[in-house]
Copies of this chain bind each other. A is one copy, B any other.
Amino acid sequence: MAIMTYREALNMALREEMDRDPRVFVMGEEVGLYDGAYKVTQGLLKAYGERRIIDTPICESGFTGVGVGAAMLGLRPVIEMMTFNFSILALDQIVNSAAKMCYMSGGQYPIPLVVRGPGGPAAQLAAQHSQSMETYFYHVPGLKVVRPTTPADAKGLLKSAIRDDNPVIFIEAETLYAVKGEVPDDPDFTIPLGKAIIRREGTDVTVIAYMGMMYRAMEVAEELAKEGISCELVDPRTLRPMDTDTIVSSVRKTHRAVVLEAGAGFAGMGSEIASEITEEAFDDLDAPVERVTGENAPMPYAKNLERLKTPSREKIAAAIRKVCYR
């Protein structure tokens, strides 16, 4: 175990997997000479050279497609999106090439590809650079989608993503790169995709959240504990495939659920989680599942408006109290 930042944990995972498997390479904008726009790939060019750490021109569709083509020949590309906002330009390659190739080819061409980078709300970056991008991916059969909340998860899940034989969309967060935590330095440490984790045990209500929303939920849970409300916090970690069992069995225990989502709420991840809970645990629910989501507006630049866009501690606490009829 070692204490390190989320950023360092990702860097460690990349190094370990590159050491372990010569087919793994990293490609993207500024990943090499510049050491990464957010320094996640710091030192990799120096350690692995230009053959395996490849800087690209600005052409997301082009270099993502290069990753898919390289995967068809047996390599295991890790494509960095400088930020996931730009992955929308590569969406056709991800959805129509990467996600469907194994199926269309009847299993002849699986695509072991990781597309990673920071996504989600980021400080005052406004409408085009501050948005939740997972929504464009988790609906797509053939893709796996990961959102790692802690440094340890960042390492363990990225390693599993790189070893996975399917295209994995791995969305980190600019706002979490500096977060510190305990991270196993054992190179064999991995966390399986598709397994949720209970971050806090509780008895009164199940709160489902990931990334920044989970940290906010932890604070709220402490506050509410003082009021005698005991929150169980569940982090899906992988959005597709979703570990519905862990979520539902928690709800069966608490009889109440609140789903948090940083992105705009309409038809977001929260809708799916709420639906699954209701379908599986309808008779166990003492209250309808509550969703606390980002407002249905683009992200404004102004700081005061930006604050109103994403779910506040107050809103989260209110929703929890509501399902607990307090």
Q: A interface vs B, CB < 8 Å?
A: 85, 88-89, 91-92, 95-96, 99-100, 103-104, 126-128, 135-136, 138-142, 240, 242, 263-264, 266-272, 274-275, 278-279, 282, 287-291, 296-298, 300
Interface centre among A138, A263, A274, A297 (most CB of B within 10 A): A274
Contacts of A271 in B (CB 8 A): 267, 271-272, 274-275
Min Cβ gap A288→B in Å is 4
Min Cβ gap A51→B in Å is 31
Tell me if A296 and B92 are in contact (CB < 8 A): no
Min Cβ gap A2→B in Å is 36
Min Cβ gap A131→B in Å is 9
Min Cβ gap A176→B in Å is 23
**Shortest Cβ distance from A288 into B: residue:** B282
Tell me if A139 and B267 are in contact (CB < 8 A): yes
Contacts of A275 in B (CB 8 A): 270-271, 274-275, 278, 289, 291
Min Cβ gap A30→B in Å is 20
How many copies make up the complex?
2
Tell me if A89 and B88 are in contact (CB < 8 A): no
Tell me if A296 and B135 are in contact (CB < 8 A): no
Would you call the interface of chain A mostly helix, strand, loop, or mixed?
A: helix
Tell me if A267 and B266 are in contact (CB < 8 A): no
Contacts of A104 in B (CB 8 A): 126-128, 298
**Shortest Cβ distance from A294 into B: residue:** B141
Contacts of A95 in B (CB 8 A): 88
- Closest 10 A-B residue pairs measured CB to CB? A282-B288, A267-B272, A271-B271, A271-B272, A100-B127, A271-B275, A274-B275, A103-B298, A100-B298, A139-B267
Complex Cα gap A136–B104 (Å): 22
**Shortest Cβ distance from A289 into B: residue:** B278
- Taking a contact as CB atoms closer than 8 A, the residue among B92, B270, B297 that contacts A141 in the complex is B297
Contacts of A278 in B (CB 8 A): 274-275, 278, 288-289
Tell me if B88 and A267 are in contact (CB < 8 A): no
- Taking a contact as CB atoms closer than 8 A, the residue among B85, B141, B264, B288 that contacts A296 in the complex is B141
Tell me if A298 and B92 are in contact (CB < 8 A): no
**Shortest Cβ distance from A241 into B: residue:** B266
**Shortest Cβ distance from A287 into B: residue:** B282
Contacts of A298 in B (CB 8 A): 99-100, 103-104, 141-142
